[in-house]
Amino acid sequence: MSQVSIRDDEVDIVIAAIEPDLTSFLEEWRAIFSRFHLIIIKDPDVKGELKIPGGFNYDTYTKADIQQIIGPSNAATFSGYSCRYFGYLLSKKKYIISIDDDCIPAKDTKGIQIDAIAQHINNLSTPATPFFFNTLYDPFCKGADFVRGYPFSLRSGVSCALSCGLWLNLADLDAPTQALKPELRNTRYVDAVLTVPARAMMPLSGINIAFDRELVGPALLPSFKLAKEGKFRWETVEDVWTGMCVKVVCDHLGYGVKTGLPYVWRKERGDAIESLKKEWEGVKLMEEVVPFFQSMKLTPAAKTAEDCVIEIAAAVKEQLGQIDTVFTRAADSMVEWVQLWKTVKTRT
């Protein structure tokens, strides 16, 4: 397949506002974000009015909007960083890019500011190659190509449905690792993009991602909630669960997932020791979750992302529900999410 042309008006940038004052964050991103439409979702638990500088094209949504559109009983689904999913739900654009509000533009090894949006768009607009690994990374990147021995029948690639960016400074480590190595910072900038091979699972981080909403939007879902889940990224495994769901969907439907560039610079936030108390449940449950997703096979009847999520939810309830009730709740939430996605879609 050939490269797809993506226009600025086909992109929504979704921002989860965990703090009310977005002035500093948006000023850092002004040169990059100002060309695009922003969807800003205020965490329902955040107090105070949002502070947004002028010069941006944006829509904001608050707790009142969430309750009005989906009802008070479902509002808790969109607490903390999960409020971003409300933006995914309401967007009418084909492509969504989401960057956490504790991140600013990073610089490459030459000190040049990285345009994370342009790189995500490039990742999504060029084919992915999940069925045969190219050892020279993404063959569609400038200066790269397919290596000797790569089958010509696979060189056209497939649509890239998900682009997973990375982070400099505060890496997205789990709470146990961060608590054990509190001084550890990621300073390695690797100028590379690669396609995650088919059938290989990965721990998605919602900090810096982009995706094709029409292809896999319903698979980016807020379903896996820990009993003592906190608001900071390392206090939740919600996006990790989501990543395995969407990867299974991509593998089944024949889409690709890329990881690597672009980088963002992630600021300091949170207390790893306190977060460990909240995330430890999730760390243990991952030992059950990963083998489950690795062995997941969907039926030929699953032809859309919605179909795939419903099948995954049924398997979660049947195979994991007996291990812990958190899985039963996750399965129910997945079904509710698909129903909500379809309901909102029919309104627009």
Tokens of 146: 């397919």
**pLDDT for 274:** 66
Question: Is residue 268 predicted with pLDDT exceeding 80?
Answer: no
Q: Which of 154-168, 184-198, 267-281 has the lowest mean pLDDT?
A: 267-281
Mean pLDDT across 78-83:
88
Q: Phi/psi at 257 (nearest 5 deg)?
A: -130, 130
**pLDDT for 12:** 98
Q: For residue 283, which amino acid is it?
A: V
Helix axes 116-125, 23-33, angle to 10 degrees: 50
Q: Give the confidence band of 272 by pLDDT, cuts at 50, 70, 90.
A: low
Residue with more model confidence, 20 or 1? 20
Mean pLDDT across 78-104:
94
Question: Is residue 338 predicted with pLDDT exceeding 90?
Answer: yes
Mean pLDDT across 193-210:
95
Q: For residue 161, which amino acid is it?
A: A
Residue with more model confidence, 186 or 236? 186
**pLDDT for 348:** 61
Q: Residues 105, 113: contact at Cβ < 8 Å? A: yes
Mean pLDDT across 231-238:
65
Q: Give the confidence band of 273 by pLDDT, cuts at 50, 70, 90.
A: low
Q: Which of 65-79, 145-159, 254-268 has the lowest mean pLDDT?
A: 65-79
H or E, element range at 97: strand 95-99
Question: Is residue 337 predicted with pLDDT exceeding 60?
Answer: yes
Question: Is residue 153 predicted with pLDDT exceeding 90?
Answer: yes
Does a cis peptide bond (omega within 30 degrees of 0) precede residue 203?
no
| Mean of the per-residue pLDDT values of the chain | 92
Question: Which residue intervals of 23-142 are DSSP H helices?
Answer: 23-33, 63-70, 84-90, 116-125
**pLDDT for 69:** 87
**pLDDT for 219:** 98
Question: Is residue 168 predicted with pLDDT exceeding 70?
Answer: yes
**pLDDT for 75:** 72
Q: Give the confidence band of 197 by pLDDT, cuts at 50, 70, 90.
A: very high
Beta strands in 170-281 (DSSP E): 193-195, 208-212, 256-266
**pLDDT for 221:** 94
Residues 6+ apart with CB under 8 A from 96: 11, 12, 13, 14, 87, 88, 210, 211, 213, 217
Question: Is residue 258 predicted with pLDDT exceeding 70?
Answer: yes
Tens of pLDDT, residues 25-44:
999 999 999 999 999 999 99
**pLDDT for 307:** 98
Tokens of 289: 């979750």
Mean pLDDT across 292-297:
97
**pLDDT for 278:** 57
Q: In whole angstroms, what is the distance from residue 268 CA to residue 333 CA?
A: 31
Question: Is residue 135 predicted with pLDDT exceeding 90?
Answer: yes
Question: Is residue 60 predicted with pLDDT exceeding 60?
Answer: yes
Say what percent of the chain tops pLDDT 70.
93
**pLDDT for 175:** 76
**pLDDT for 208:** 96
